């Protein structure tokens, strides 16, 4: 089966045409998809897939071990009953119970960078999408690095930053986790500001507004000013692809070289219901 790969913006994202993920994905096809994903700066779109939870889970496992909602009591209720590997993102309710996490990721972030081994990939599958709205923006953190001046690059290289879940405190995520005690307060990790991606060998600016809290060794004022610039720089429109979802889209993003933002503008138009799997990280960022 020949695949066609089409870029969706000048820097980030590619669409794959000709893949059928309902069938088991053999090694050759997986290698091709993985390479296309790396080449597209960590964002791959595969449209028109009709996937049962088992099929999404089986495909996701090709990327690595999956996170399970059972590991995190606060999000357990959003997992798909019987499939703790699937986290539901939705504004819908059934009998007053949320069918998924509403307003997941409605701010710039990359998933789970507060972990010691940041998540490799998130794989989000759209089941119900409003006619318009509810897009997701993706920023290219390789480009964010590459478009800095040599002087700024010299300043940043060698610096470390703390990423903390609690940093997302003024978001719905932060509010939900607030008051859950030390278990949540402790969810933080220190990573280099500039990482070398293990698959591409390229450098990326590893920051996101949601979780990057503080640059190690700087005063709060220094860190806030520099991070403020880096957050703005890394999400400039030139570095961003905006995905307009259709039902049956499967989108795979790399949390080590992209950031994303779910736009919560759609609720007067229709409902949104998606299934996400998360591939665990397997190494520290370097
Ligand atoms: C996520 C997330 C984006 C979206 O699931 O990690 O940020 O568009 N979702 O729902
Ligand atoms: Mn997210």
With H, G, I as helix, E, B as strand and everything else as coil, classify residue 80. Answer: strand
How many helices and strands, by DSSP H and E, does the chain display?
Answer: 7, 18
Q: What's the domain count of the chain?
A: 2
- Assess whether 249 and 183 both reside in one domain: no
- Does residue 14 sit in the same domain as residue 155? no
Rounded to whole angstroms, the Cα distance separating 195 from 192 reads 6
Cα angle value 194/198/199 (rounded, 5°)? 125
197 is an active site residue? no
The structure's pTM equals 0.95
**pLDDT > 90: percent of the chain:** 88
Q: Are residues 13 and 126 in the same domain?
A: yes
The residue whose CB lies within 8 Å of the most ligand 1 atoms, and thus the one to mutate among 264, 267, 276, is: 276
Confidence of residue 71 (pLDDT cuts 50, 70, 90): confident
Q: Tell me which residue range forms the domain holding 273.
A: 4-130+245-254+267-279
User: Which residues line the pocket of ligand 1, CB cutoff 6 A?
Assistant: 89, 104-105, 111, 122, 124, 136, 260, 262, 274, 276
Residue 261: inside a domain: no
What CA–CA distance (Å, rounded) separates 21 from 192?
35
DSSP 46: E
User: Which of 102, 249, 262 should be mutated for ligand 1, with most atoms under 8 A from CB?
Assistant: 262
What CATH number is given to the structural domain containing 119? 3.60.130.10
Same domain, 49 and 187: no
Looking at the structure, tell me whether residues 124 and 169 fall in a common domain: no
Work out the average pLDDT over 222-250. 98
Mean pLDDT of 223-241: 98
| Range name among 51-65, 87-101, 181-195 with the lowest pLDDT average | 181-195
- Between CA 259 and CA 222, with CA 237 as vertex, the angle to 5 degrees is 65
44 and 173 in a common domain: no
pLDDT score for 165: 86
Please check the confidence at residue 186 and state whether its pLDDT lies above 90: no
Note whether residue 239 is domain-resident: no
In a domain, 118, yes or no: yes
204 shares its domain with 249: no
- Inside any domain, residue 205: yes
- Residue among 41, 111, 249, 254 flagged as catalytic: 111
pLDDT range class, residue 108, cuts 50, 70, 90: very high
Same domain, 215 and 97: no
For 226, the 3-state DSSP assignment is: helix
Classify residue 285: in a domain, yes or no: no
């Amino acid at each position: 089966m020949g695949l066609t790969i089409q870029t969706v913006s000048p820097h980030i994202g590619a669409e794959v045409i000709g893949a059928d993920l309902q069938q088991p994905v053999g090694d050759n096809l997986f290698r091709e998809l993985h390479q296309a994903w790396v080449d597209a700066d960590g964002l791959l779109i595969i449209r028109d897939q009709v996937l049962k939870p088992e099929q999404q889970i089986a495909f996701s496992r090709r990327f690595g071990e999956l996170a399970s909602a059972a590991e995190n009591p606060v999000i357990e209720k959003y997992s798909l009953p019987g499939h703790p590997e699937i986290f539901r993102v939705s504004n819908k309710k059934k009998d007053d119970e949320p069918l998924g996490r509403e307003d997941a990721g409605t701010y710039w972030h990359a998933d789970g960078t507060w972990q010691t081994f940041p998540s490799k990939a998130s794989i989000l599958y759209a089941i119900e999408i409003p006619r318009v709205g509810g897009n997701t923006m993706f920023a290219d953190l390789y480009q964010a690095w590459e478009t800095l001046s040599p002087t700024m690059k010299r300043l940043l290289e060698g610096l470390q930053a703390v990423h903390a879940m609690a940093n997302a405190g003024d978001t719905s995520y932060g509010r939900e986790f607030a008051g859950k005690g030390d278990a949540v307060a402790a969810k933080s990790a220190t990573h280099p500001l500039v990482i070398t991606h293990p698959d591409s060998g390229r450098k990326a600016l590893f920051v996101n507004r949601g979780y990057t809290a503080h640059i190690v060794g700087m005063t709060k004022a220094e860190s806030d000013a520099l991070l403020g610039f880096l957050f703005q720089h890394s999400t400039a429109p030139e570095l961003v692809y905006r995905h307009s979802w259709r039902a049956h889209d499967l989108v795979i993003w790399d949390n080590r070289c992209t950031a994303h933002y779910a736009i919560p503008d759609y609720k007067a138009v229709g409902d949104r219901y998606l299934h996400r799997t998360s591939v665990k990280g397997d190494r520290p960022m370097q």
